[in-house]
Structure 1
């Protein structure tokens, strides 16, 4: 005699296999220790991010004031940061595709079937099993965002405008993402060196990371 929830369990089996595939591939691509560097079009500004999009280093060419007009500093920083993040996301997508191809789906299907048999023996209702699936989805989402610490709570995103310690580089954060970077020329020291700019920019990026949550 067919189980009254056979159709539901069949669909959940398929979902479970897909979730396991996603989880396994995601685990293989999380690389919080990786580093990605981006540069602006002139090659004057370089920004390095880690595998979680956190800025670890900002570099300005010592001859920045000869290569880049002050009015273009904010745009150059934004471009370098965007290029670094783009490289990170591209590398992650390629690694995910490679890892997904290597997943042993037959093994995952056997494990999913074993789990469902266990649920049936315990007379677990489909809505309870759905709760288990939703928990798996949350774990995968956290794994993608936080790598080796997937059990942390998702942060609340806030819009904010922050600056570096000297107040002449301003970063706007919207919906948890860096939206704009400006260099406030009225506050920029006339004799600012490349090291001054790098320290200010790195401080502003760290303040933006705190604002992002």
Structure 2
């Protein structure tokens, strides 16, 4: 009996050692890169843009590649460039007088792990342009496809404009499911409280207009009420 207990204990120790080892050996995703150029909300004088970002690190010293996505919307769905490179830089020729959004994903090639950077916006300068449309609203709370408690929800967004002296106003759309209704088109604050019911799904959108009448159409976010 004693011999059997010893064998059992040894097996248990070996199992725990292997289990702990497997947890310690779990592959980690590479570090998140920092976007360096174009900087956030930059007005680029030239439309030939030398994108660059910091190098990622990997705890296992796996090979790292970088996937850069450049799009015309903050959700990165209207993509104009999607490339995977081994260096932390890439030069791209883009359209003039256009707002762009970009992100870099560091990819652990050996173990298929990845990490996303922030999304930065920038504007390419046009010929003879004196006023630029504001950037798309950055919807912050609630998160897209997130869950909230019933009662009241504070819709929160951010917005910016290359023309720093411009005054921005916001048009808020809100409604159940995919049905959006204009709530207010003269908002000057970047938040709005709405009432929501349990079990419902809601959508919302914010358009941004500057004092010259230039408008950017916002993305649509949805959330569900518990």
- Which structure is higher in strand share? 2
Point out which structure has higher relative CO (alpha carbons under 8 A, 6+ apart). 1
Determine if the TM-score, normalized by the shorter chain, exceeds 0.5: no
Provide TM-score, normalisation by structure 1. Answer: 0.26
Higher share in helix: 1
TM-score by length of 2: 0.25
